[in-house]
Amino acid sequence: MDKLRAVLSGRDESTDQRGVIETVNEASTLGWGTRVKGFIACMVLGLGCSVLGVGCLFIPKIGITLFIVFYTFGNICSLASTMFLMGPVKQLKRMCDKTRAFATAVMLTCLVLTLCAAFWWKIFGLALLFVILQVIAFVWYGLSYIPFARDAVLKFFSMLCSMCMK
């Protein structure tokens, strides 16, 4: 808008130091308070959908379908909530980082396969398996943000396995 005003008023364009990308970025950036509110709203929506999905499990006939839909939507909202804090580009770059790429790929694949198994293939046992894999991948992805958390979990399970083998 400033460029248009500058051209229409006859000002020299060389005096305007901001580029188009900087102007768009400035217009689309959220303030910290808005980011926190968006994060909280998405996280509460995600957790609420996940809890609602678990509650729907006990409804006869359609309960498992509702569980799959609400639980998957809850995971998507929870994942999207972090985009408010970091910004979508930075979050996507972190998701594709070499330490998180595998967990991200498994998590997103399981999200899609859960919905395919429930609605397209109509194999609810397979959908539940994908929900379990979703949970494991989501936890593994989340642990990647905590320093040494993955190592601690691996050490714990290796210790647990060694105790079971005795």
Condensed to tens digits (0 to 9), the pLDDT of residues 72-81 reads 999 999 989 9
Provide the whole-model pTM: 0.72
Residue 10 falls inside a structural domain: no
pLDDT in tens, 4-62: 455 445 555 544 556 665 665 565 577 888 889 999 999 999 999 999 999 998 898 88
Residue 5 falls inside a structural domain: no
pLDDT in tens, 131-154: 999 999 999 998 988 889 999 999
Residue 48 falls inside a structural domain: yes
- CA 36 to CA 31: how far, in whole Å? 9
115 burial level (CB within 10 Å; 0-12, 13-18, 19+): middle
Residue 50 falls inside a structural domain: yes
- CA 166 to CA 159: how far, in whole Å? 11
Residue 17 falls inside a structural domain: no
15 burial level (CB within 10 Å; 0-12, 13-18, 19+): exposed
| Domain count for the chain | 1
Residue 14 falls inside a structural domain: no
Which domain covers residue 65, as residue numbers?
31-165
Contact of 73 with 86, CB cutoff 8 Å:
no
Amino acid at 8: L
